Structures are given as structure tokens and as C-alpha cells.
């Protein structure tokens, strides 16, 4: 069964996307490809629709936004739960984001036969890497790999990459990354990255976590879903996989 994870650059120009595609076979998840950078929603959908047999997709972006101000209920609930672990959400609303590309992406996928958070049909789910990483790796708080000085971001990416590597021996869901894609989790490679290349690698790591989250969703592991399908939800696996 093919599954995908998307770190979706939905906030406008200059925010690229990354897609990871994998094959789920029992308790093994084999990465097939990691594609980055993707600069537009058209490039993302082209990748997804090329692989017409993708059964499920986990997306790091808000897929349902109905509120005109404040934050979505799911964001408030998740922030209350993970705030002490420094993994709160940013606020999304239709005043800040008039025509969010991520909602458009969700609508395009629904027209292709996907359903929100369905275990019986082709599915899409909204996920958020920070709390997913905390749970999958049994951490006390979020990893600092997205913001700050280049040296801090590099160290954070290397830490996350090493944790991802440990999933190759997971008794919950074994992750296999082929040699030609291991550059994304190579400490040596990451240590030499800067600028847009460092950001592109961050996007790739997020997309790996999203794809792994899609596989955990399909495996129906212990989890919590914040919010609802009407006004927005965020799925978080709550199982230590290493």
C-alpha cells in the first residue's frame, strides 16, 4: 500500500513543499522517493496524481479552515496539551489566510476520492510534525531544528535524522530508507548545508515524519485527534516507536 507525507508550503510564494512516498507492508514502511523542492500546488498534485495508487496522505498544513478570526479549536486543544513541551500551534483563520492553498489541496484530493481521516477509504489527514516527533521518539519536548542560528538548526536536523535512522529497528513500524535517499538523514551531509539547501533538507525531514505518521494512522496505533472534521482537526500518533 502506497502512502505519502507532505510538508506543504501553503503560505504563499517562497514557501516550498516536500513529498515523501512510501510502501506499507505489514509492519514495514519502505521509502520509495523524496521529492523536494516543489514550488507550487500544481507541482505537488502532479507528483501525487502521477502515483495514482497512493492510498493515504498525511499533510503538514491546515486542511479545514472555517473560522474568520482567532485560532481553530483543534489548534487551541493541541496547544494546551503540548504547550508545556514547546509544541504549540500557530493560529490559522480566514482573515490571515484568505485563500489558503492547503484547503485548496484538500479539496482537490477529495475530488480524487480521498476522505478526511478514514481508515476504510483512501484518506487524507492533517498532521503536525512537532508533537508527532515528540510521541514517536518519546521526547520531553520539541527539537529545535526549524528556527534560530544555522548552527542550531543543523544540530537539530542531525538529532532528528539520527532518531529517524533508529526507526530501522522499530518493533512498532520499521522504516527503511534506500541508500540513494539517505543523504537527507546523513549527519555529514547536513553539517555542510546552509541557506536554502538547509531549509530544503528540513522540509524533506518533515515530509518523512508526515509519511511515517500516515503509516501509523493506517496501522491504527494509539493516537489522539484534536478537533473534528467539520472545523479542523490534527492527528497525532501517541506511541513510542523506538
| CATH number for position 203 | 3.30.420
**Does residue 171 sit within a domain?**
yes
The confidence score (pLDDT) of residue 54 equals 98
**Does residue 242 sit within a domain?**
no
**Does residue 157 sit within a domain?**
yes
- The set of residues, in sequence order, having a beta carbon less than 8 Å from that of 176 and lying 6+ positions away, is 28, 29, 30, 31, 168
The confidence score (pLDDT) of residue 167 equals 98
State how far the Cα of 98 lies from the Cα of 12, in Å rounded to an integer. Answer: 11
Domain that holds residue 106: 2-237
CB count in 10 Å sphere of residue 75 = 23
**Does residue 201 sit within a domain?**
yes
SS3 state at 213:
helix
**pLDDT tens per residue across span 16-34:** 999 999 999 999 999 999 9
Task: Give the angle 235-221-110 at the CA atoms, nearest 5°.
Answer: 45
**Does residue 74 sit within a domain?**
yes
The confidence score (pLDDT) of residue 13 equals 61
**Does residue 202 sit within a domain?**
yes
**Does residue 137 sit within a domain?**
yes
- Low-confidence stretches of the chain (pLDDT < 50) are none
**Does residue 148 sit within a domain?**
yes
Q: Give the count of domains, the chain.
A: 1
Cα dihedral 94→100→103→109 (10° resolution) = 170
State how far the Cα of 12 lies from the Cα of 9, in Å rounded to an integer. Answer: 7
**pLDDT tens per residue across span 126-172:** 999 999 999 999 999 999 999 889 999 999 999 999 999 999 999 99
Amino acid at each position: 500500500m502506497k502512502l505519502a507525507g507532505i510538508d506543504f508550503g501553503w503560505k504563499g510564494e517562497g514557501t516550498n513543499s516536500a513529498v515523501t512516498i512510501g510502501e506499507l507492508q505489514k509492519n514495514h514502511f519502505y521509502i520509495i522517493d523524496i521529492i523536494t523542492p516543489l514550488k507550487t500546488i500544481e507541482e505537488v498534485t502532479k507528483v501525487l496524481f502521477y502515483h495514482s495508487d497512493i492510498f493515504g496522505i498525511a499533510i503538514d498544513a491546515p486542511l479545514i479552515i472555517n473560522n474568520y478570526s482567532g485560532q481553530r479549536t483543534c489548534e487551541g486543544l493541541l496547544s494546551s496539551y503540548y504547550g508545556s513541551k514547546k509544541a504549540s500551534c500557530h493560529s490559522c483563520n480566514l482573515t490571515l489566510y484568505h485563500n489558503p492553498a492547503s484547503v485548496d489541496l484538500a479539496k482537490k484530493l477529495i475530488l480524487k476520492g480521498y476522505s478526511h481521516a478514514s481508515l476504510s477509504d483512501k484518506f487524507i489527514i492533517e498532521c503536525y510534525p512537532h508533537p508527532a516527533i515528540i510521541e514517536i521518539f518519546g521526547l520531553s519536548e520539541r527539537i529545535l531544528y526549524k528556527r534560530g542560528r544555522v548552527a542550531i538548526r543543523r544540530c537539530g536536523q542531525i538529532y532528528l535524522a539520527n532518531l529517524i535512522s533508529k526507526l530501522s529497528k522499530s518493533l512498532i513500524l520499521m522504516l527503511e530508507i534506500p541508500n540513494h535517499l539517505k543523504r537527507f538523514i546523513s549527519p555529514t551531509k547536513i553539517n555542510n548545508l546552509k541557506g536554502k539547501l538547509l531549509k530544503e533538507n528540513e522540509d524533506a525531514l518533515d515530509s518523512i515524519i508526515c509519511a511515517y505518521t500516515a503509516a501509523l494512522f493506517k496501522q491504527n496505533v494509539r493516537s489522539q485527534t484534536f478537533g473534528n472534521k467539520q472545523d479542523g482537526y490534527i492527528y497525532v500518533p501517541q506511541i513510542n516507536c523506538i
